[in-house]
């Protein structure tokens, strides 16, 4: 519980400190700053990830561990998760089709097949279904 509270405090600090670029325009955070979403699109889940690569590298196949909790912080067990990675400015997706390959327990899920073929701005969207609820969360990455 203490780790969760510290993580939430860090995310809140990052949000409050802003992500504006030098001219005041919105800028995407670096991949290392965008690891947690306090709420999914519909507010049903809290989602964070860790990558086995730190920092995330280009053209290297790797896996992520996705941590999924209910909005009250309770780990979500038995979820089904699909993954879609896109590079919106270029109009293409990832060269791989990442998949959830294991439910690790405690709300943790293994996602394998992550690979980004070029640097730039990426989105990775997870669609999560659990206990009759489906919701999505999107991470914005600058690699």
Annotate the chain with three-state secondary structure.
CHHHHHHHHHHHHHHHHCCECCCCCECCCCHHHCCEECCCCCCCEEEEEEECCCCCCCCCCEEEEEEEEECCCCECCCCEEEEEEEECCCCEECCCCCEEEEEEECCEEEEEEECCCCCCEEEEEEEEEECCEEEEEEEEEEC
- Model pLDDT, residue 97: 96
User: What fold, for 2-142?
Assistant: Immunoglobulin-like (2.60.40)
pLDDT-derived band at 126, boundaries 50, 70, 90? very high
Reported as a single tens digit per residue, the pLDDT across 64-112 is 999 999 999 999 999 999 999 999 999 999 999 999 999 999 999 999 9
Reported as a single tens digit per residue, the pLDDT across 5-18 is 334 433 333 333 33
């Amino acid at each position: 519980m203490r780790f969760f509270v510290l993580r939430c405090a860090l995310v809140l600090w990052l949000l409050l400190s802003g992500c504006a670029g030098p001219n005041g325009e919105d800028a995407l955070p670096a991949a290392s700053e965008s690891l947690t979403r306090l709420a999914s699109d519909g507010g049903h889940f809290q989602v964070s990830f860790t990558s086995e690569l730190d920092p995330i590298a280009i053209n290297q196949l790797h896996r992520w561990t996705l941590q999924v909790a209910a909005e009250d912080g309770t780990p979500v067990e038995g979820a089904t998760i699909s993954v879609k990675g896109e590079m919106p400015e270029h109009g293409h997706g990832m060269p791989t089709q990442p998949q959830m390959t294991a439910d690790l327990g405690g709300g943790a899920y293994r996602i394998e097949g992550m690979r980004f073929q070029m640097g730039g701005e990426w989105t990775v969207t997870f669609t999560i279904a659990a206990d009759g609820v489906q919701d999505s969360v999107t991470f914005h990455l600058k690699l």
